[in-house]
Structure 1
Amino acid sequence: METVRRPALVIASAAAALLLTAGCSADGGAPAPAAPASPGSPVASSAAPSPSAPPAKGSVRVAATLTEGLKSPWGAALLPDGDLLVSSRDEATITRVDTESGKRTSLGTVPGVAPAGEGGLLGLAVSPSYASDHQVYAYFTTESDNRIARLLYDERKPAGRQLGAPDTILRGIPKGTVHNGGRIAFGPDRMLYAGTGETGDRGLAQDRASLAGKILRMTPDGQPVHGNPSADSVVYSYGHRNVQGLAWDGQRRLWAAEFGQDTWDELNLIEPGKNYGWPVAEGRAGKPGYVDPVAQWKTADASPSGIAWARGSIWMAGLRGERLWRIPLAGTEPSAAPQPFLQGRYGRLRTVLAAGGAGLWLVTGETDGRGTPGAGDDRILRLAVT
């Protein structure tokens, strides 16, 4: 859990203490490009073939520090040319970072953002049709709610004035001082997914009429998608506490990371219409009707935020745990115990993105009000992984 500090806990050495398999599967092979699906196409298929497992042990090397001095960075998204867009939660700005030189260019400020607590300008996503529409999507907190809007990004205009007015596609996501969720991403089906939190009101996670404590799936215009559990709803899965990580594996399966409360943080394999347990279950409960996590961690060791898929593994950024986790996957369950990297070296880790091949981008989160910022915080690191 991100909001409460607890005494440090030690991860059990046995893999069984860390690896908890759900009844669903994930592919562990190298990510393969997926052809865009129609809106009604399934996002995941448990019958998909399962390539061989990646090695039980991997490695991470910090290849370079791309940039430093970022303030409250939260969301990040890759542009088609490989440059990064990064949001500032508290300053409500979007910045472009050249991934060759590290040069930063301000796109501008997103109007209507009301930063407070864990709310503010959160997740970013780039339209799958960016080459023609130049739209950037943002999830942010206002005075009344959390919402998702798209903004035209006009690179021809002067720095700081390159964002058009927000076009809200979904409003009314409940807000709170804590647990606002905020991660958004376009899936291989070209639909927009969003992870939300239950705002501290635990009952909202089980209320299917509420957008809180859910994973949402919608068209780029914010409309429900054919194939959602309910034809008139953007709710895709429920029973979540605070989802801040979304990623797809090489077989188009959706994975999500979320905060636990006092005992277990979770990595879940997401299927439409399934109930992931909160607040009835935290971690592996084995209760009928609820999906158990594929892997779980003591809360002091994770407090997971962004996740990415690369080299047959899910890579998970940890806030309170101040480390990057590698979870190798094969077939229907993890193939080895999760492996930690960079523990305590860069403080809180907020966002991780696949950079293609054996690369990852990692965004730190020391200036979010819960870290201990030092010289250079916050920064973006280029990682080489094997």
Structure 2
Amino acid sequence: MRFRRGRAAVATFGAVLALTASCSFGPPGPDQAGSPPNLPRPSVAPTSSADGEEREVAITVLAKALEVPWGIAFLPDGSAVVTERDTARILKVGPESDAEGLKVTELQRLSEVRPSGDGGLLGIAVSPKYATDKTLYVYYSTERDNRVGKLVAGGKLQPILTGIPRSASHNGGALAFGPDGQLYVGTGDGTPAGSLAANPKSLGGKILRITTAGKPASGNPVKNSPVWSSGHRNVQGLAWDRTKRMYATESGQPRSGELNVITKGANYGWPTADGPGTDAKLTNPLVGWPAAESSCGGVAALDSLVATACLLGKRMYLLNVTGNGTVLGNPQQLLNDEFGRLRALVTAPDGSFWVSTSNQEEAGEPDPEDDRIIRLVFSDGGAGRS
């Protein structure tokens, strides 16, 4: 089944439908700002899955003709801010719409960004106090390093954290506010041999936890250090589920793509480990896949559903995670090679998933409509409300 041209489509996937009927997704909690995008209701034709439940996936192309959209975050009005890695543009997508999808406008182009390789304008996060402070946070590359900066209502970009290792590849880029109000930063090791991921003095190959001023947050494993976890190859996605369990994608390892549950002070093994291992001092991934079938960028969570969006794998994986952190059943596949390389994946304020393609880059094979942002809505209490 192909979805290359249509603005909206509905599909039923037997594998996806194997998610348990007891799953109850529903809308996010009241702490997640925003409202549903202004979209027409997708048509839904119910069909039966193997477990007897009627579930479908409504797929809507929200925006087209973007250039390597990397990060997505949401403003209080329900619109999204989207970064383009290579153009260094911040776009606003929605909430207004027309016959072609959501309206896309350029908010700002950041002259401080120096794109090359997989570096450029990467992650973006919206201040939890955006209604009053109008502040965005971005992860970006310069000629010398990767940085986190803040941007107030179209003003000048102000760096708050510098010195993250910069290289042609494995620059990390994940950026998100956690349930605790602190800013989490996923970095890449930035070296061919992985010499920085286990070095506590380096910001490379880490997940960092900082304040909005860029300082180490109180309660970090080591006082006055921003490091929250270490031993990462290339962290490009961060998300939390309803239990405040934290997830991160691991991309760029030669053998295995990983989805990790992140805990305070844990070591995830790079470069000693590539995928699951037997060293008790290292933390194994929740799930690992062959690199060619994964190399995932974004991760999103809603209720018991955790999903990843994969670049080399050109697919999404969906996992049903129980309250105690166990994966129920096998991860299911969605959009397998339907839209090419998939990068950003986030949970929208209305409970739908938004995913971006990443085909307008050297490794991609772009469709005339690429790059795109796609909205996914699951029926019967699944992600989103159609």
Alpha carbons of structure 1 residues 365 and 62: separation in structure 2 relative to 1, 3 Å: farther
Deviation at 1:76, TM superposition (A): 1.0
Tell me which amino acid in the other structure corresponds to 1:226. Answer: S
Deviation at 1:311, TM superposition (A): 4.1
Deviation at 1:231, TM superposition (A): 1.2
Alpha carbons of structure 1 residues 181 and 190: separation in structure 2 relative to 1, 3 Å: same
Give the superposed CA RMSD: 2.0
Report what 1:374 is aligned to: 367
Deviation at 1:262, TM superposition (A): 2.5
* Contact in 1 for aligned 2:207/2:235 (Cα 8 Å): yes
What is the CA–CA distance in structure 1 between the aligned matches of 2:191 and 2:80, rounded to whole Å?
32
What is the CA–CA distance in structure 2 between the aligned matches of 1:58 and 1:351, rounded to whole Å?
28
Please, what TM-score do these two structures have when normalized by structure 2? 0.82
* Contact in 1 for aligned 2:28/2:302 (Cα 8 Å): no
Secondary structure, aligned partner of 2:239: strand
Alpha carbons of structure 1 residues 99 and 171: separation in structure 2 relative to 1, 3 Å: same
Alpha carbons of structure 1 residues 325 and 100: separation in structure 2 relative to 1, 3 Å: farther
What is the CA–CA distance in structure 2 between the aligned matches of 1:342 and 1:301, rounded to whole Å?
13
* Contact in 2 for aligned 1:349/1:362 (Cα 8 Å): yes
Please, what TM-score do these two structures have when normalized by structure 1? 0.82
Alpha carbons of structure 1 residues 34 and 67: separation in structure 2 relative to 1, 3 Å: closer
* Contact in 2 for aligned 1:260/1:282 (Cα 8 Å): no
Instruction: Pick from 273, 276, 280 the counterpart of residue 281 of structure 1.
Output: 273
Tell me which amino acid in the other structure corresponds to 2:108. Answer: G
Tell me which amino acid in the other structure corresponds to 1:103. Answer: K
Instruction: Pick from 239, 255, 260 the counterpart of residue 268 of structure 1.
Output: 260
Residue by residue over 1:62-88, the C-alpha shift from the partner in whole angstroms, topping out at 9 and shown as x without a partner, is: 432111000121111111111011111
What is the CA–CA distance in structure 2 between the aligned matches of 1:147 and 1:118, rounded to whole Å?
14
Report what 1:131 is aligned to: 131
Secondary structure, aligned partner of 2:309: strand
Secondary structure, aligned partner of 2:274: coil
Instruction: Pick from 93, 99, 103 the counterpart of residue 89 of structure 2.
Output: 93
Residues 1:291 and 2:283 aligned together:
yes
* Contact in 1 for aligned 2:74/2:349 (Cα 8 Å): no
Secondary structure, aligned partner of 1:314: strand
Instruction: Pick from 158, 163, 167 the counterpart of residue 158 of structure 2.
Output: 167
Alpha carbons of structure 1 residues 99 and 345: separation in structure 2 relative to 1, 3 Å: farther
Residue by residue over 1:161-218, the C-alpha shift from the partner in whole angstroms, topping out at 9 and shown as x without a partner, is: xx21011110010100000000100011111001000013401000010000000000
Deviation at 1:362, TM superposition (A): 1.1
Residues 1:71 and 2:64 aligned together:
no
Secondary structure, aligned partner of 1:336: strand
Alpha carbons of structure 1 residues 123 and 60: separation in structure 2 relative to 1, 3 Å: farther
Alpha carbons of structure 1 residues 32 and 63: separation in structure 2 relative to 1, 3 Å: closer
Aligned length: 332
Structure 1 runs (4+) greater than 2 angstroms displaced: 28-36, 57-63
Sequence identity, in percent?
A: 42
What is the CA–CA distance in structure 2 between the aligned matches of 1:61 and 1:252, rounded to whole Å?
26
Residue by residue over 1:128-186, the C-alpha shift from the partner in whole angstroms, topping out at 9 and shown as x without a partner, is: 01001000111000011000000112xxxxxxxxx210111100101000000001000
Alpha carbons of structure 1 residues 300 and 285: separation in structure 2 relative to 1, 3 Å: same
Alpha carbons of structure 1 residues 378 and 83: separation in structure 2 relative to 1, 3 Å: same
